[in-house]
Structure 1
Amino acid sequence: MIIALIALLVLAADQLTKCLVGTNFQHGESIPVWTNFFNITYVGNTGAAWGLFPGQNKALIVLSIVTLIVMFVFRRSFAISEPLQKTSVGLILGGIFGNLIDRIFHGQVIDFLDFYWNGSHWPAFNVADSAICVGAFLYILTAFWQPKSKVPPAANQQSSKPPESAEIATSQK
């Protein structure tokens, strides 16, 4: 349930922000938010994150759908029990759905978060891209950093007393 809620929140935030940019900006228009660091810039992206694989919109639609199907079919084997794991999967699903909707209905993804520093420019991205990256990072993190299993105290402690047979043998001497 929490996975679906997180996915829906990401999807809503992603679609709302893209709608705001798409209706209030011209393609290529840029507004500085934080001088020499961050702009909101309307960019249409027919490729993957960071502008990789430009013009591959149809292939990325297929890849997104296949990924969603695989995640659904194998969901029980992913061992998603920890809250951080559930959060990560919700972020990934929300991000995939957000960009998939854009690809299907607009033929491209709207990117608008535009960061740069000292002349180095990071390709524009969006809420869905951020959710996918953060979700993937958290999922990988949880794969390597698992909380210690909770073993009942009785099973974890060894008695300092010798076994009964040893007590009987020593008392008979």
Structure 2
Amino acid sequence: MSIFKTTALRWWWLAALVLGLDLLTKQVAEYVLEYAQPVYVLPVLDFTLLYNKGAAFSFLANESGWQRWFFTAIAVGVSVMLINWLRTLPREQQWLPIALTLILGGALGNLFDRVVFGHVIDFISVHWNDAYFPAFNLADSAITVGAVMMAIDVIREMKEERRNKAEGKS
């Protein structure tokens, strides 16, 4: 019997969808936008093509280049860990596997950029007046949504455990 039919790996397509949409939107941004020239969409949103050689929020972006391979190694390690975790989850489970595959798809999207281009392509810029949130992309959004879903899952599990203890269940 296929591992995709018996485990949460059945959600692999969601990671592939996130990866595909991420790569597509980044290439559209590369084609349509000029580097560092904002295109205003809403008073709080613009599209600005930027390159991030660091991690989230441009952490370590100004280093000499070693960070490219450091973050590549982390992304590969996290991706392998997520795939193995999905293999251990039962097919019937949905919330956590969706969270993990969103994170996986986003990690693979940014990994692709880092390996192929040496930087991650960001283009979504959210701001309020002159206060700008660091630019991001679809991969970052998927990772964030997946992480929030995981946090919600942990909270639900903790509440369930407390309820079971209060009812005398193990």
Q: Normalising to structure 2: TM-score of the pair?
A: 0.79
Partner of 1:13: 21
Unaligned runs of 5+ in 2: 1-8, 162-170
d(CA) in 1 for partners of 2:20 and 2:84?
Answer: 24
d(CA) in 2 for partners of 1:79 and 1:47?
Answer: 36
Secondary structure of 1:145's match?
Answer: helix
Secondary structure of 2:136's match?
Answer: coil
d(CA) in 1 for partners of 2:91 and 2:122?
Answer: 30
Offset from partner CA, 1:23-63 (integer Å, 9 cap, x none): 1222212100013x111000000011221221422110011
- 2:58 corresponds to which of 21, 37, 51: 51
1:141 matched to 2:152? The reply is yes
Taking the TM superposition and a 5 Å limit, the aligned residue runs for 1:24-63 are 24-35=32-43, 37-54=44-61, 55=63, 56-63=67-74
The structure with the larger Rg is 1
d(CA) in 2 for partners of 1:81 and 1:64?
Answer: 27
Secondary structure of 1:42's match?
Answer: strand
1:72 positional shift: 3.0
1:21 positional shift: 0.5
Taking the TM superposition and a 5 Å limit, the aligned residue runs for 1:1-173 are 1-35=9-43, 37-54=44-61, 55=63, 56-77=67-88, 81-146=92-157
Q: Normalising to structure 1: TM-score of the pair?
A: 0.77
1:14 positional shift: 0.4
- Change beyond 3 A, Cα 1:28–1:136: same
Partner of 1:168: none
d(CA) in 2 for partners of 1:10 and 1:66?
Answer: 19
Supply the AA of the counterpart residue of 1:69.
Answer: V
Offset from partner CA, 1:133-160 (integer Å, 9 cap, x none): 11011012112214969xxxxxxxxxxx
1:119 positional shift: 2.2
**Percent of matched pairs sharing the same residue:** 30
d(CA) in 1 for partners of 2:88 and 2:97?
Answer: 14
Supply the AA of the counterpart residue of 2:140.
Answer: D
Of Structure 1 and Structure 2, the greater helix share is in 2
Unaligned runs of 5+ in 1: 150-173
Secondary structure of 2:26's match?
Answer: helix
